[in-house]
């Protein structure tokens, strides 16, 4: 098995494409390669599957291989004389997995120049003129993702199973790299395309379950996008790391590495693999994954980034999402931790040899053959043999790394490294004196003591402030069937029970409940906040999901798990921005102006600002949720007379059919302004408004206090009327600070209310703990709420 793996790695530039063994056997019986290329027959994963007619493929392969390699067996008289072939390239040519489906003239649809020449002849073309394979993305084309919009600047070429483009995030021009994966209709049917797109968006990306951000030299997607129209998916990475040379490219240009350099490669990759294999991760779809095997370790998936005399190895292309684009006929291979170590062993072997193919007999280099090894330190060779499982294998990546660090370092003049012991991170170019280190140590020690004294003072930390990573860490969860309630339309109930907020056809309540098969939750709608809380008090419900209230039954307890707020909005019109209300209002509105508008005292916007304001009649919109209406009455109107007038206006608008669901209100506000010259205003929950760009959320000014804007840009400044809410998506977010401190006047906490009586079930308290885990906090944020901790933003 090890030998087969070695051969697979040796041909990794041909990519990994496994096919069923029975089909491969049938194919080998019909296609016979010449003696000098017969070793390719052992690589069944590179020979395209032909199930109906092999003749066209045979001719295609013959056309791609120089005739001197073929012996004409039918008639010896026609046989060409043997000609010694030139020295082969270090890395064999990649055979495109889509070759079987498209008659590409170059033999590789992913790099064929015709996908580019087609665009030169027809800039709107979607398919190659020669073979109908999808063309490359034209320059200036744009891809819209969940975290922003990206413009393609230049096609860079092939990268694994995809095509790489240099681009920028608009409008701030931050450099990005876009990797395009293809699901061409000739290779995938409509259902296969749909399933792979859905899986891609739920799997392409990782984040630590505990919310930390840590550099593990693993290139991860900043955005993962399934094209809603075209059979394409995109991974967007920030910066330009993804365009760095691979170790395959490095070897083809520079030859073999020194032992010291190979040790550095091994140390860094083992460190990254240990992290990848041992940590808890959250996938974009909310799934918890404890340890992930890379599944694609090889010369073409390890990038080398040099910095003067140092270099660093970054890992790319996790099989977790790369394998989604293997052909449906491919054999499914489950990535394993142990296989990552074997693959790394072959990488080290080839780095030392400087090649993967023997230049004499065209056969892959094999570590079992001592003649294929260069002269190296016996201890390093023994270590690599253990990685390859040709000797006692290592238990895991960390054990392997610790043993590597114990091998005495052999210095070489040709090394790229600064001499010294292998370090976990960057090699230090400057080593401070012991005196300086001592002073720094004392300062750090003093700072730690000061921190502990102040942080651990009585009353400074509570059990509720400690963080829990994942749902499976919540212990003693009651089993059985339990009822919970909450006001219909409330933020918490909406996020828990509304489908498609996190993933298509997925409900957050079910995602949580799937972790506890013996727990059944039954939702009982409440007609009001008071009814929901009363049901918990009386025992009709075991807990409630509500917004926080000032006064609560002393026999009940509550625990917050997220924030939401109301936002006041007017139309955001790109085409008429100079005449828009955000500009006239300078992006803000006062509580008094709101009261005058929503009690009917102001009927035209010029009554607020005179001639400087556009002459627009006022139209009021009201949300349909009782929770939003109550908060507006309590926080903005306050006075009974103002509330009574507000309700009369609301009733008249209800009769006029102007009380709509939030998404429809947003559309109507923009339509009123652009088509009917009406200055509409509305309010709704931030969780339902954030991420759209048809309306502008106004900052709120209460009395003589500074105006508070609930949305903040990446540069730390609040959004303003000049911010392009459409093109800047992904560059602004809720301002965690104004929610945590309560300084935004329409902010409110969402809580779980449960009985404080120990004689009753603890399910409410436990459910609150579930919602407060880092795992679920990430999902709540994705659904539109503001999480409890700032590092979730």
3-state secondary structure labels for all residues of 171-199: CCCEEEEEEEEECCCCCCCHHHHHHHHHH
How far apart are the C-alpha atoms of 751 and 94, rounded to whole Å? 56
Q: Average model confidence (pLDDT) for the chain?
A: 79
Q: Compute the average pLDDT of residues 8-34.
A: 37
Task: Give the C-alpha distances (Å, rounded to integers) separating 518 from 478, 496, 542, 574.
Answer: 8, 19, 17, 52
Rounded Cα gap, residues 699 and 718, in angstroms: 9
Token digits of residue 91 = 């890395």
∠557-558-559 over CA atoms, to 5°?
Answer: 135
CA 729, CA 175: separation in Å to the nearest integer?
Answer: 16
Give the pLDDT score at 422.
Answer: 32
Contacts of 69 (CB under 8 A, 6+ apart): 34, 36, 37, 85
Q: What is the mean pLDDT of residues 66-81?
A: 37
Distances (CA, A) of 438 to 426, 433, 442, 449, 451: 22, 9, 6, 17, 20
Residue 632 has pLDDT above 80, yes or no: yes
Question: CB–CB of 347/340 below 8 Å?
Answer: no
Cis geometry, peptide bond prior to residue 171 (ω within 30 degrees of 0): yes
DSSP collapsed to 3 states, 182-246: ECCCCCCCHHHHHHHHHHHHHHCCCEECCCCCCCCCECCCCEEEECCCCCEEEEEEECCHHHCCE
Give me the pLDDT at residue 396, please.
Answer: 94
Nearest to 527 by CA among 510, 544, 539: 544
At 653, give phi and psi (nearest 5°). Answer: -70, -35
- Residue among 602, 534, 516 nearest 755 (CA): 534
Residue with tokens 């993804």: 242
d(CA 100, CA 57): 7
For the chain, give the percent of residues with pLDDT over 70: 77
Q: What is the pLDDT of residue 480?
A: 93
Residue 207's nearest CA partner among 198, 194, 195, 216 is 216
pLDDT of residue 374 exceeding 60: yes
Tokens describing residue 101: 């489906």
What b/e sequence results for 412-425 when a residue is b if at least 16 CB atoms lie within 10 Å of its CB, and e otherwise?
Answer: eeebbbeeeebeee
pLDDT value for 205: 86
Q: Taking the CA atoms of 382, 384, 389 and 394 in sequence, report the sign of the dihedral they define.
A: positive
How remote is the C-alpha of 750 from its chain's centroid? 27
pLDDT of 379 over the 60 cut: yes
Compute the C-alpha angle 507/510/514, nearest 5°: 145
CA dist., res. 371 & res. 742, Å (int): 72
Q: What pLDDT is recorded for position 759?
A: 85
Helices marked H in 300-356 — which ranges?
Answer: 319-322, 337-353
| 3 state DSSP class of 707 | coil
Matching residue, tokens 């609930």: 710
| Inter-residue long-range contacts of 634-643, CB under 8 Å, 24+ positions, other chains counted | 635/566, 635/745, 635/746, 636/591, 636/594, 636/595, 636/598, 636/746, 637/595, 637/598, 637/599, 642/595, 642/599
Whole-number Å distance between alpha carbons of 513 and 80: 71
d(CA 154, CA 177): 10
Give dist(CA 469, CA 371) in Å, integer.
51
Place of tokens 């906040």: 529
- How are strands ordered across the β-sheet holding 174-182? 142-144, 149-159, 162-170, 174-182, 232-238, 223-226
Query: Is pLDDT of 87 > 50?
Result: no
- Is pLDDT at 639 greater than 80 in this prediction? yes
At residue 449, the pLDDT reads: 52
DSSP letter assigned to residue 417:
S
pLDDT tens, position by position, 308-325: 667 899 998 899 988 888
The pLDDT assigned to 611 comes to 81
Residue 396 near residue 274 (C-beta atoms within 8 A): yes
Name the one residue in this structure whose structure tokens are 């994966």.
Answer: 181
More confident residue, 71 or 471: 471
Cα–Cα distance, 569 to 522 (Å, whole number): 36
Q: Of 144-158, 386-400, 767-781, where does mean pLDDT reach its minimum?
A: 144-158
Which of 1-10, 82-91, 323-332, 362-371 bottoms out in mean pLDDT, i.e. has the lowest?
A: 82-91
Q: How confident is the model at residue 439 (pLDDT cuts 50, 70, 90)?
A: low
In 3D space, the residue among 166, 167, 160, 102 whose CA is nearest the CA of residue 135 turns out to be 102
Q: Is the pLDDT of residue 346 over 60?
A: yes
Measured over all CA atoms, what is the biggest interatomic distance in the chain, rounded to whole angstroms?
A: 108
Check whether 771 has a pLDDT greater than 80. Answer: yes
Phi, psi angle pair for 143, to nearest 5°? -120, 125
Average pLDDT over residues 495-500: 89
**176: how many CB neighbours lie within 10 A of its CB?**
26
pTM of the model: 0.54
Give pLDDT, residue 261. Answer: 93
Q: What is the residue whose two structure tokens read 């079930």?
A: 761
Q: How confident is the model at residue 411 (pLDDT cuts 50, 70, 90)?
A: low
DSSP state of 364: B
Average pLDDT over residues 213-234: 86
In the chain, the domains with their CATH numbers are 2-78 (no CATH), 477-563+749-792 (3.40.190.10), 565-738 (3.40.190.10)
pLDDT exceeds 60 at position 383? yes
């Amino acid at each position: 098995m090890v030998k087969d793996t070695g051969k697979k790695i040796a041909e990794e530039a041909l990519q990994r494409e496994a096919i069923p063994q029975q089909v491969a056997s049938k194919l080998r019986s019909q296609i016979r390669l010449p003696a000098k290329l017969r070793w390719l027959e052992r690589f069944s994963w590179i020979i395209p599957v032909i199930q109906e007619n092999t003749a066209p493929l045979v001719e295609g392969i013959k056309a791609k291989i120089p005739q001197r390699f073929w012996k004409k067996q039918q008639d010896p008289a026609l046989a060409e004389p043997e000609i010694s072939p030139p020295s082969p390239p270090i890395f064999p040519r990649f055979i495109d997995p889509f070759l079987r489906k498209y008659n590409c003239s170059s033999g590789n649809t992913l790099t064929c120049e015709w996908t580019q020449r087609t665009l030169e002849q027809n800039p709107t073309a979607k398919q190659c003129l020669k073979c109908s394979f999808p063309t490359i993305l034209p320059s200036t084309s744009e891809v819209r993702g969940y975290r922003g919009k990206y413009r393609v600047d230049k096609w860079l070429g092939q990268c694994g199973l995809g095509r790489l483009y240099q681009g920028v995030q608009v409008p701030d021009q931050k450099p990005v790299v876009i990797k395009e994966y293809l699901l061409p209709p000739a290779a995938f049917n409509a259902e296969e395309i749909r399933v792979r797109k859905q899986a891609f968006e739920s799997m392409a990306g990782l984040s630590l379950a505990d919310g930390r951000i840590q550099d593990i030299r693993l290139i991860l997607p900043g955005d993962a996008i399934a094209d809603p129209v075209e059979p394409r998916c995109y991974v967007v990475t920030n910066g330009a790391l993804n365009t760095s040379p691979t170790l395959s490219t490095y070897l083809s240009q520079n030859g073999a590495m020194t032992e010291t350099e190979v040790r550095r490669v091994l140390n860094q990759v083992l460190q990254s693999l240990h992290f990848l294999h041992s940590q808890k991760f959250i996938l974009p779809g909310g799934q918890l994954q404890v340890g992930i095997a890379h599944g694609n370790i090889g010369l073409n998936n390890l990038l080398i980034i040099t910095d003067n005399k140092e270099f660093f190895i970054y890992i790319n292309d996790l099989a977790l999402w790369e394998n989604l684009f293997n052909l449906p006929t491919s054999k499914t291979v489950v990535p394993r931790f142990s296989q990552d170590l074997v693959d790394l062993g072959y990488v080290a072997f080839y780095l030392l040899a400087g090649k993967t193919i023997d230049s004499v007999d065209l056969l892959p280099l094999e570590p079992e053959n001592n003649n294929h090894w260069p002269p190296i330190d016996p201890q390093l060779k023994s270590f690599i043999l253990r990685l390859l499982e040709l000797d006692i294998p290592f238990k895991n990546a960390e054990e392997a790394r610790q043993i590597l660090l114990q091998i005495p370092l052999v210095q070489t003049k040709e090394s790229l490294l600064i001499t010294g012991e292998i370090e976990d991170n960057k090699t230090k170019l400057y080593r401070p004196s012991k005196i300086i280190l001592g002073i720094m140590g004392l300062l750090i020690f003093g700072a730690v003591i000061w921190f502990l004294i102040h942080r651990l003072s009585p009353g400074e930390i509570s059990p509720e402030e400690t963080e829990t990573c994942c749902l499976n860490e919540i212990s003693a969860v009651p089993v059985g069937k339990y009822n919970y309630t909450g006001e219909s339309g409330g933020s918490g109930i909406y996020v828990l029970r509304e489908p498609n907020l996190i993933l298509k056809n997925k409900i957050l309540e079910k995602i949580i409940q799937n972790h506890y098969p013996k727990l059944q939750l039954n939702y009982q709608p409440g007609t009001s906040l008071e009814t929901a809380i009363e049901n918990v008090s009386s025992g009709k419900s075991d807990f409630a999901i509500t917004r926080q209230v000032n006064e609560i039954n002393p026999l009940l307890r509550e625990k917050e798990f997220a924030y939401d707020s109301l936002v006041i909005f007017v139309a955001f019109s790109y085409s008429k921005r100079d005449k828009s209300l955000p500009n006239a209002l300078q992006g803000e509105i006062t509580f008094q102006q709101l009261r005058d508008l929503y009690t009917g005292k102001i009927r035209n916007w010029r009554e607020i600002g005179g001639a400087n304001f556009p002459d627009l009649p006022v139209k009021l919109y009201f949300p349909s949720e009782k929770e939003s209406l109550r908060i507006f009455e309590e926080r903005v109107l306050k006075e009974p007379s103002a509330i009574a007038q507000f309700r009369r206006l609301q009733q008249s608008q209800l009769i006029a059919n102007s009380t709509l669901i939030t998404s429809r209100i947003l559309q109507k506000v923009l339509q009123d302004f652009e088509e009917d010259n009406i200055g509409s205003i509305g309010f709704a929950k931030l969780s339902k408004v954030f991420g759209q760009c048809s309306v502008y959320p106004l900052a709120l000014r209460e009395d003589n206090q500074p105006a508070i804007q609930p949305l903040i840009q990446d540069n730390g400044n609040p959004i303003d009327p000049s911010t392009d809410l459409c093109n800047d998506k992904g560059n602004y977010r809720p301002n965690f600070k104004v929610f945590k401190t309560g300084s935004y006047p329409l902010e409110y906490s969402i809580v779980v209310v449960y009985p404080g009586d120990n004689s009753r079930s603890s399910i409410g308290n436990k459910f609150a703990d579930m919602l407060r885990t880092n795992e679920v906090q990430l999902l709540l944020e994705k659904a539109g709420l503001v999480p409890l901790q700032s590092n979730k933003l």
